[in-house]
Each structure stands twice: as structure tokens, then as C-alpha cells.
Amino acid sequence: MIDTDPQAPPGPRALPTPVRAPLADGREILFFAQESEPVPAADHRELPPQPTETPTLLRRDPQTGDWVMIAPARQLRTYKPPRQMCPLCPDPSGRSSEVPAADYEVVVFENRFPSLSTAHRGSGFALTADDGDLTVEQPGHGRCEVVCFSSDHEASFAGLTPERARLVVDVWAQRTTDLLGRDGVEEVFCFENRGEAIGVTLSHPHGQIYAYPFRTHRTRTMIREAQAHRAATGSNLFEDILAAETASGERILVRTEHTTAFVPFAARWPAEVHIYPNRHRRHLGELTDAEADDLARVYLSVLRGYDDLYGFPLPYIASWHQYRSDAAEGYLHAELFSVQRSSDKLKYLAGSESGRDAFVTDKTPEDIAAQLREVIR
Ligand SMILES: [Zn+2]
């Protein structure tokens, strides 16, 4: 079922083509599969149509230049539903779930309660330039998607087969390529929040994708540092980080032919792990077949190590950094971290972290690496 998406630019590997279907309120659902042909059923729910005006706003913080997404409708979103009401479990009757089908492998659909959407206009969106105006407000243009990794409510990403994890990597790649090609989209962010401690309101294994109309604060900061590094040394910051970590070996967790996982030198979070492809790639769609397979396997082994760390499913955030193919310095990588700082204590973002974005951590990155090496195989 893997074949080339006609919308995708020629790349080093074929990305999967989704089977697209409409949901009852006009949103789009995309079925991805490698073993079976998806068979979407009709969505018979009586849902209010999606608003024709974007219900969310962007406001620019004049102090920092950061954009804030204001999305009051998200107060209404589904909150910890009972198992039999799970909106991510497949439902062949099309009456009780977001996924009208008897079963599925991986599905993606537009979030019913999005922080960003394209409701207000089809094309032509551009962010207002910074001209000194202190009250810049724009529609919340963009797109928010939900990605279900499995139809099994009790599954977790760590428990997926390598083949399914690879399909998810390819789905992220296909969505990234599609969304980056759309008008007004500046950055595509694939991520997974796992665990109630992170604030997850649905336990079914899933992640999300945000297509932002702006560059996020962390991306801007990293690119600025990479440009400064280029000016000072003539080389790419992330290539140099990977080479230095590999040479030292002190914080390396896994190193394979195509992929390296390590605890970063200045880790901010408990159990922080970064995963890089060994060759400079800018987004998941640029990986070769062998690199994508390898990345999926290393990612799985880190997540399985996470769950062995304290003997229970570790709450974590998995955050993918991707860039356009023509981005000069950007380097595809995953940043994973947890709020679990010991078997029975959570790390809270308090004064220094929340008020100043200045992290204090109570474990050295070398100790984190030593602890994780014991559980990652
Ligand atoms: Zn479910």
C-alpha cells in the first residue's frame, strides 16, 4: 500500500499515500496503511459544522516577538472520557468516534478543537510584519492534526512493532511535506504527549501535529545559535554537536550506522534524550529507507528504556525538529524528555523555569546517561 504521493516532491524514499475521507462536520480524515487497504465508513454523527471563521487568534507579544495562540473553544474539548466513549477507537457504526472504520493502522484527522485552522480563508495568509505596532492580532491560521498510532486503546508507542513505528515515521514525513507546502505555513511540529502527568486528556496512543504560521521561539533561538556558530567556525552547529558527542561517548546511549541517541551536554529535563540521523537531513521526508528504518528502531529502544526506568510507563514529551529542505542550518532531530525526576517525584516548572526560562536540574547529564544506558538495549 506504500506508493508515491503525487503531491510530494521527489525524495529519497516513497512516502505513503493516504486514503482521504470527510468527517461529519467537514473535517478531513486520512487513513495510512501498509498491510491492508483502509475502508472508511460513513460518519453518521450529528456534529455542528466547523466554523467558517477561524475561532482562534494570534497575538504577537511585543516584548519578545513570540506569537500566542488564543483558542477559547478548546475549553470544550473531550476530557478524560470513559474507555467505551474513546473518540480515537475505531467505530464501524460511525456514531461514536472520530474514526469511522472497523479498524485502522494509522490515521490522521483534523483536530475538532484546534488551536490553529484554515477556516477563515483558503490562501494568501501572511503574518503581519513587525512595524512597531504593540497590538498585532491575526486569525489563528494553520492546522492542527491528531495522529493515532494504533487502533488498540491499550497500546503505547513503545509497544509498536518496528514496522508500525516505521509507518508512523513515514506518516509524519508525509504530513510534514504536505503541510510545509501549504500557504502561510512556516513550521510543522510533530509531537507526542504521553501520560496524565503531562496533561494528556485521552489515553489512546496518539500524537499531534501543529502547522504554525510562524517560527516558534525555540526554533528561532536554535537557528540564531546555528548561524552564530557558522559565522564563528564555518561549520554546521548540529553536525558539530553530533561529532563531539560521538567523539566523547560520555553521554551516548545508542549509536548505529544511521542514528545516534544521546543525553545532551546541557540537558534541561529529567531523562532528556536527543536522537539525530548521522547524516545531515532537514526533515523526515529526506531520510532514505535504511535511515528511516533505523531511526524508528532507535526511537523505539529509547521509549522502551523510558518505560523500564522506574518500572511504569514514563510520562514524556517527544518533540520533532524539522526544517524545509532549503533551510541552511536546520538539522532533523527528536528531543525527548520527561517530567518524572525520580520514581515518585515530578519536576514542576517553577519560578526560574517558568518566569525566566532558566532551568535548574538536580541530576548531571552524565548521570542521566549512565542511568538510561542500563535500561536501553
Ligand atoms: Zn481508544
- Give the Cα separation of 102 and 342 in Å (integer): 41
Q: Give me the pLDDT at residue 77, please.
A: 64
Question: Is 10 part of any domain?
Answer: no
The domain boundary, picked from 194, 214, 234, lies at 214
* CA of 101 relative to ligand 1 center, distance in Å: 13
Which range of residues forms the domain containing residue 93? 19-214
Q: In terms of domains, do 235 and 292 share one? A: yes
Q: In terms of domains, do 153 and 225 share one? A: no
The domain that holds 117 is classified in CATH as: 3.30.428.10
Question: Is 31 part of any domain?
Answer: yes
* CA of 58 relative to ligand 1 center, distance in Å: 32
- C-alpha cell of residue 34: 501498509
Q: Which residues contact 267 (CB under 8 A, 6 or more apart)?
A: 337, 361, 365, 368
The domain boundary, picked from 171, 197, 214, lies at 214
Are 204 and 83 in contact, with CB atoms under 8 Å apart?
Answer: no
258 among annotated binding-site residues: no
Ligand 1 (ion): which residues have CB within 5 A? 86, 88-89, 153, 204
Q: Give me the pLDDT at residue 79, please.
A: 65
Q: Give me the pLDDT at residue 1, please.
A: 39
Question: Is 9 part of any domain?
Answer: no
- Given 141, 206, 258, 283, which residue is catalytic? 206
Q: In terms of domains, do 233 and 178 share one? A: no
CB atoms within 10 A of CB 162: 14
144 among annotated binding-site residues: no
Number of domains observed in the structure of the chain: 2
* CA of 302 relative to ligand 1 center, distance in Å: 24
Question: Is 11 part of any domain?
Answer: no
- Give the Cα separation of 129 and 90 in Å (integer): 44
* CA of 292 relative to ligand 1 center, distance in Å: 27
pLDDT in tens, 202-231: 889 999 999 999 999 999 999 999 999 999
- Give the Cα separation of 316 and 313 in Å (integer): 9
pLDDT in tens, 77-92: 666 677 788 999 999 9
- Give the Cα separation of 279 and 272 in Å (integer): 22
Are 28 and 143 in contact, with CB atoms under 8 Å apart?
Answer: no
pLDDT in tens, 114-158: 999 886 555 678 888 778 899 999 999 999 999 999 999 999 999
| Least trusted range by pLDDT, from 1-15, 54-68, 161-175, 290-304 | 1-15
Question: Is 358 part of any domain?
Answer: yes
pLDDT at 47 over 60: yes
Q: In terms of domains, do 36 and 69 share one? A: yes
Q: In terms of domains, do 314 and 364 share one? A: yes
89 among annotated binding-site residues: yes
Mean pLDDT over residues 10-34, rounded? Answer: 91
Residue 3 banded pLDDT, cuts 50, 70, 90? very low
Amino acid at 45: R
Question: Is 1 part of any domain?
Answer: no
Q: Is 206 noted as a catalytic residue in this protein?
A: yes
pLDDT in tens, 339-355: 998 999 888 888 898 89
* CA of 237 relative to ligand 1 center, distance in Å: 41
204 among annotated binding-site residues: yes
Write the CA distances from 342 to 58, 136, 303, 305, 363, integer angstroms.
37, 43, 17, 15, 10
Question: Is 130 part of any domain?
Answer: yes
Q: In terms of domains, do 270 and 311 share one? A: yes
